[in-house]
Amino acid sequence: MKKIVDELNEKIIKLKCPVVVGLDPVIEKIPNYYKENLKDAKDKLGAVADIFFNFNKDIIDSICDIVPAVKPQMAFYEMYGEQGIRAFINTVKYAKQKGLLVIEDAKRNDIGNTAKAYAKGHLGKVDCGDGNKIPVFDVDFITVSPYLGLDSVEPFIEECKENNKGIFVLVKTSNPSSADIQDKVDENGKHIYENVAKFINRYGAELIGDTKYTSIGAVVGATFPEEALKLRKIMNNNIFLVPGYGAQGATAKDIVNCFNDDGLGALVNASRSIIFAYMKYESLETCSKEIYKKYVRESAIKMRDDIVQELRNVKNNLKY
Amino acid sequence: MKKIVDELNEKIIKLKCPVVVGLDPVIEKIPNYYKENLKDAKDKLGAVADIFFNFNKDIIDSICDIVPAVKPQMAFYEMYGEQGIRAFINTVKYAKQKGLLVIEDAKRNDIGNTAKAYAKGHLGKVDCGDGNKIPVFDVDFITVSPYLGLDSVEPFIEECKENNKGIFVLVKTSNPSSADIQDKVDENGKHIYENVAKFINRYGAELIGDTKYTSIGAVVGATFPEEALKLRKIMNNNIFLVPGYGAQGATAKDIVNCFNDDGLGALVNASRSIIFAYMKYESLETCSKEIYKKYVRESAIKMRDDIVQELRNVKNNLKY
């Protein structure tokens, strides 16, 4: 049966685009055009949430025929409480209507029954106590943190099997201080991130699809090309979700190690450099809806072209 | 100035009770008394959320004069989407009205601006884009995961300083597979959990209150008494949030190592063994509101007495 990872790979090949756009709304950076109703709003949190949803719809409309997926970062919605969660869920629904896959970046983790609750809420269906089971967040993929150990990840894997979903487990993150824990070397001379990578690769074997990749992926930062090369070998059939491109400083040259020779195996994320691209040319006041959407689309196309060009230079067996 | 950790210590001393009650609602386990309106509800998620809030109010009313704090586990609310978040926030408000401190168990973590967004939403105030800044979750403490490194924790510490809040960072969790990452030994012969402990103790120095403890605490599982002894020495002035008592199998003897000689330095959590204590004696059908509240109160008192008795046996310098 076709798995969610196969859908992702087919979209990447069809669109010739291994790029995911991060939907990370920040109210201060959103053009005033979207904020006309804010001043008079009684429910300020609700007003911000509505602005986020309309803002996201324009981003999605601008890139849904270019990229295979979007990655809303839960923190930017959750901080606005129930209203923010509503904007998040509406964004997920709209993105799916437009044919995009949705990767929720939430870095959830807990143990046993609690991890199960997160997994059911975000990937599965929740029990309403009267026999009804309802999908709530219903995203295609979610990011998961492994610090608590295997049993913080297993309940997510179970939901992936039941509902044909996927996860990306944090392995080597893009931030400088990711070294604090992830780069520690154990008794066997292995870094913590290598231990996590081996575990993920082993678990991934249960969810390999027609495209020979697994729905259990890994987060590997674009800012660490050497580690990526090592991790690519350990996790040969796991998809890497690659943050750190653009605003965090990584370039196309830095991320080619995250890909296999077939040009698959990695999905490179950019958020600020696309959704706030307009800020290089326009101000909050001058940026119209049309201008905003134009810069989103242009910056996404440029990122795609830069990455694909670099892949053409170094990979022998590109599938696109 | 009095810090949130001082409020916690003063309550523990006044009530002679280093116990926190976990508010982890599970719809299947809630007595039918609370679920009368569920069957006919149009908005099922909203109906479950209302049930959770009413259920929590009865727990809070039953124990607010016995324990210093409650610990709602975000996963059980978040899984029901925006409605669940509403129930969570209403529970936080009600618990505070009743004089309880609130520890949000959310194990959040991310990097840079994203961690900042979580920290502002849960501990601080969020920017509404029109000059208004609003507290949203406004809990007293939140649990944080350290896997991403120092910069996943620093933004939370900043919000603690600005808003007189506290955090508990995951160090050694109560689950069996916590060993997978936390127990790895580094080049210097130190476990990962020891490295995290040292970092937390160092950071805690910036937030030490009148009671000589810091608002930056640690999660240390009740199921690992030997590790607790070692960690107590490294984190002499950090409060331990101690899960694993009761349903997870740890007893009063297991958790005394988490305390200093003054009987402070630890807060022991129990959830299922208190909020579902009634299940040993009653069924979903037979458990009335009064019976339910009676078992909650009795089990909380028994847990308090068991722990304090054991502390009296082994500690020389109890403050209560």
Nearest by Cα to A307 from A264, A253, A266, A258: A253
Nearest by Cα to A248 from A265, A276, A226, A269: A269
Question: Catalytic residues of B, which ones?
Answer: 107
ipTM of the complex: 0.97
CATH number for the domain that contains residue B272: 3.20.20.70
B284–A contact, CB cutoff 8 A = no
Question: Per the domain annotation, does A125 fall within a domain?
Answer: no
Beta carbons of A126 and B89 less than 8 Å apart: no
Handedness of CA B153, B155, B156, B157 (dihedral sign): positive
d(CA B142, CA B123): 8
Question: Per the domain annotation, does B162 fall within a domain?
Answer: no
pLDDT tens track, chain B, 320 positions: 799 999 999 999 999 999 999 999 999 999 999 999 999 999 999 999 999 999 999 999 999 999 999 999 999 999 999 999 999 999 999 999 999 999 999 999 999 999 999 999 999 999 999 999 999 999 999 999 999 998 789 999 999 999 999 999 999 999 989 999 999 999 899 999 999 999 999 999 999 999 999 999 999 999 999 999 999 999 999 999 999 998 788 999 999 999 999 999 999 999 999 999 999 999 999 999 999 999 999 999 999 999 999 999 999 999 99
Q: Indicate the residue of A136, A146, A199 with minimum beta-carbon distance to B45.
A: A136
Question: Per the domain annotation, does B123 fall within a domain?
Answer: no
Q: Which residue of chain B comes nearest to A130, CA vs CA?
A: B39
Q: Which residues contact B46 (CB under 8 A, 6 or more apart)?
A: B83
- The continuous run of DSSP H or E covering B144 comes out as strand B141-144
Give me the residues of B, 247-276, that contact A with CB < 8 A: none
Beta carbons of B114 and A148 less than 8 Å apart: no
Q: Classify B211 as helix, strand or coil.
A: coil
d(CA B301, CA A46): 42
B76/chain A closest Cα distance in angstroms: 6
The DSSP output letter for B68 is S
What pLDDT sits at residue A204?
97
Beta carbons of A132 and B44 less than 8 Å apart: yes
d(CA B309, CA B311): 5
Report CA-CA distances (Å) from A121 to A38, A129, A150, B74, B165: 31, 14, 19, 11, 28
What pLDDT sits at residue A248?
80
Question: Per the domain annotation, does A113 fall within a domain?
Answer: no
* Phi and psi torsions of B23, nearest 5°: -100, 85
The answer to whether A219 touches A171, Cβ cutoff 8 Å, is: yes
B257/chain A closest Cα distance in angstroms: 21
A134/chain B closest Cα distance in angstroms: 8
A190/chain B closest Cα distance in angstroms: 9
Write the pLDDT tens digit of every residue in A253-282.
999 999 999 999 999 999 999 999 999 999
Question: What's chain A's length in residues?
Answer: 320
Q: Over 90: is that where the pLDDT of A246 sits?
A: no
What pLDDT sits at residue B129?
95
B172–A contact, CB cutoff 8 A = no
Question: How many domains does chain B divide into?
Answer: 1
A166-183 mean pLDDT: 95
Beta carbons of A149 and B117 less than 8 Å apart: no
Could you tell me how far CA A285 lies from the centroid of its own chain? 30
d(CA A284, CA A128): 44
Beta carbons of B114 and A76 less than 8 Å apart: yes
Beta carbons of B82 and A78 less than 8 Å apart: no
Give me the residues of B, 175-234, that contact A with CB < 8 A: 175-182, 184-187, 192, 195-196, 199
The answer to whether A159 touches A123, Cβ cutoff 8 Å, is: yes
Number of Cβ atoms within 10 Å of the Cβ of B315: 16
Q: Which residues contact B250 (CB under 8 A, 6 or more apart)?
A: B174, B221, B222, B223, B244
Q: Classify A22 as helix, strand or coil.
A: strand
Q: Indicate the residue of A89, A127, A185 with minimum beta-carbon distance to B28.
A: A127
Beta carbons of A181 and B146 less than 8 Å apart: yes
Beta carbons of B27 and A78 less than 8 Å apart: no
How much of chain B is helix, strand and coil, in % rounded to 5? 50, 20, 30
Residue B3's identity, in one-letter code, is K
Nearest by Cα to B168 from B138, B132, B197, B129: B197
Residue B104's DSSP bridge partners are B142
Handedness of CA B114, B118, B121, B123 (dihedral sign): negative
B272/chain A closest Cα distance in angstroms: 11
B174–A contact, CB cutoff 8 A = yes
The DSSP output letter for A191 is B
d(CA B139, CA A278): 36
Nearest by Cα to A297 from A63, A48, A33: A63
pTM for this predicted structure: 0.98
Q: Which residues contact B225 (CB under 8 A, 6 or more apart)?
A: B253, B254, B255, B256, B257
Tokens of A60: 């999605």
Q: Which residue of chain B comes nearest to A72, CA vs CA?
A: B114
Residue B133's DSSP bridge partners are B127
Nearest by Cα to B222 from B192, B178, B181: B178
In which domain, by residue range, is A238 found? 4-108+131-150+167-314
Tokens of B306: 């068991």
Q: Over 80: is that where the pLDDT of A91 sits?
A: yes
Give me the residues of B, 8-67, that contact A with CB < 8 A: 24, 26-28, 30, 35, 38-39, 44-45, 47-48, 51
Q: Classify B271 as helix, strand or coil.
A: coil
Q: Which residues contact A153 (CB under 8 A, 6 or more apart)?
A: A109, A115, A144, A146, A167, A169, A199, A203
The DSSP output letter for B29 is G
B54/chain A closest Cα distance in angstroms: 15
Question: Per the domain annotation, does A211 fall within a domain?
Answer: yes
Question: Per the domain annotation, does B320 fall within a domain?
Answer: no
Question: Per the domain annotation, does B254 fall within a domain?
Answer: yes
Q: Which residues contact A39 (CB under 8 A, 6 or more apart)?
A: B130
Q: Indicate the residue of A85, A115, A146 with minimum beta-carbon distance to B81.
A: A85
Residue B314's identity, in one-letter code, is V
Question: Catalytic residues of A, which ones?
Answer: 107
The answer to whether A5 touches A265, Cβ cutoff 8 Å, is: no
If phi > 0 it is left, if psi is from -120 to 50 it is alpha, else beta; for residue B197 that is alpha
The answer to whether B231 touches B193, Cβ cutoff 8 Å, is: yes
Question: Per the domain annotation, does B13 fall within a domain?
Answer: yes
Nearest by Cα to A59 from A308, A280, A279, A277: A277
Beta carbons of B181 and A175 less than 8 Å apart: no
Q: Angle, nearest 10°, between helix axes B44-63 and B81-97?
A: 20
